[in-house]
Amino acid sequence: MSILDFSSDAFIVSFFLYCAAFLLYAVAVMGKKWSNRDPIDHMNRWGKRAFIASTVALTAHLVFFITRWIGAGHIPVSNMYEFMSFLSMMIMVAFIVVYAIYRKSLLGLFALPLTIIIMAYAAVFPQEVQPLIPALQSIWLKIHVTLAALGEAFFAVGFAAGFMYLLRTVDFSGKDKSSRRQRGWVEFTLITIVVVIGFIGTVFAFRASGYEAVFVQKTVTIDTKGEENSTIEKVIYRMPPIFAPYNSEVESLKPFLGMKEPLLETPSWMNGVNAGRKLNTVIWSIITGLILYGIIRLIVRRPLGQALQPMMNGIDADDLDEISYRAIAIGFPIFTLGALIFAMIWAQIAWSRFWGWDPKEVWALITWLYYSVYLHLRLSKGWQGQKSAWLAVLGFLVVMFTLVGVNLIIAGLHSYAGAD
């Protein structure tokens, strides 16, 4: 067995250990209703077991990271699989730091799913070791990426605590306009999470089935002399093509549920040879996510936010508000150093300029400005409670767009490799 095979096994072991730790946190939080012990004693006892399981899982995750580093010969953060795996590991580091301070087992019930979902999302992407391009062969890669990811991990914990605060405090039975609006946004956040889960499940399902559709796309470009040049490229889909690439022909396509050809063509204004494949993936994600959400609604027979709220009973809302703020306050200076200051130093070394308005640079700046506003409103304007919680939730959506949307949708110097 090679060291890279051992590393992959460690990744799988850590994933299932995280799942086990999540179940232990669920027992700690929800099992107190059926336990003969004092509820606080029950939560503390099972919370300690869950924390131990989380620590063991993180250890296995570190083994994956170190052995892949040794096998690859460079720090494993150079593509989407490696970076998202690293981010999920940093979320667990941030969670353990926050847990050590506040000792709130319920936080694990929301932080662990974030880690699990991001690890599963990472596994969607190609896992082969890729050599570093010359611009990435620098010590600044280690400093910039690790600190940026750690800062984003604390933002993720702030999101988890903020969302828990909303579940604890939003009036799900209120009839007024404000209550209905807040219920709607809580439900929308949960639907977004379910859509991501649906995307991951869909990718693995079609990958397991071996589905493949191949298109031949002709692209016409005009050079500086005004002459037309045409190129022929193959585009491979791993999901049934609802949207075919623009100006393409089918080379091979497996029928799916009676669908023997694409239903629609990708709009011409969507540039890039992979634009159609990405649009197709988004549509499939939304379809499967909404179907999954509908099934869950049928099972629980009420909005998901309302179904989750009873788990918050007995939890001090002020503690959740404080945890969310502290996590973001810890993450902000780390993110500032990693994503902005050290990134600009590295940009100067690699590209001879501190700033170039690359999409990833712009969105890193937007993320930094957003959390600057958050801290300003929190400290100077007294925005606490639900206002602060909503800002924490929205902020993490900005972070995820910076990581996922910019990398996969907007082309730039920082773009990572796409999914299969």
For the stretch 250-287, pLDDT in tens is: 888 888 877 778 888 888 766 666 778 878 888 888 89
**Residue 287, domain member (yes or no):** no
The alpha-helical segments, DSSP class H, found in 248-312 are: 275-300, 304-308
| Claim to verify: residue 158 and residue 278 sit in the same structural domain | no
| Claim to verify: residue 135 and residue 262 sit in the same structural domain | no
| Claim to verify: residue 309 and residue 237 sit in the same structural domain | no
In whole angstroms, give the CA distance from residue 95 to residue 77: 21
Please state the domain count of the chain: 2
| Claim to verify: residue 324 and residue 369 sit in the same structural domain | yes
**Residue 202, domain member (yes or no):** no
In whole angstroms, give the CA distance from residue 364 to residue 172: 35
Answer whether residue 351 shows pLDDT above 80: no
| Claim to verify: residue 113 and residue 145 sit in the same structural domain | yes
**Residue 239, domain member (yes or no):** yes
**Residue 418, domain member (yes or no):** no
| Claim to verify: residue 157 and residue 231 sit in the same structural domain | no
**Residue 290, domain member (yes or no):** no
Pick the residue with more confidence: 174 or 245?
A: 245
31 and 46 Cβ atoms separated by less than 8 Å:
yes
301 φ, ψ to 5°? 60, 30
**Residue 114, domain member (yes or no):** yes
| Claim to verify: residue 40 and residue 122 sit in the same structural domain | yes
Q: What is the pTM (predicted TM-score) of this model?
A: 0.83
For the stretch 18-71, pLDDT in tens is: 999 998 888 887 765 555 566 666 667 788 888 899 999 999 999 999 999 998
**Residue 319, domain member (yes or no):** yes
Q: Which of 249, 282, 315 is the last residue of a domain?
A: 282
How confident is residue 292, by pLDDT bands cut at 50, 70 and 90? very high
Q: Which tokens belong to 123?
A: 């596994």
**Residue 357, domain member (yes or no):** yes
| Claim to verify: residue 41 and residue 154 sit in the same structural domain | yes
| Claim to verify: residue 313 and residue 379 sit in the same structural domain | yes
Q: Which of 237, 253, 282 is the last residue of a domain?
A: 282
Answer whether residue 158 shows pLDDT above 90: yes
| Claim to verify: residue 166 and residue 231 sit in the same structural domain | no
| Claim to verify: residue 43 and residue 75 sit in the same structural domain | yes
Domain boundaries, position 233: 213-282
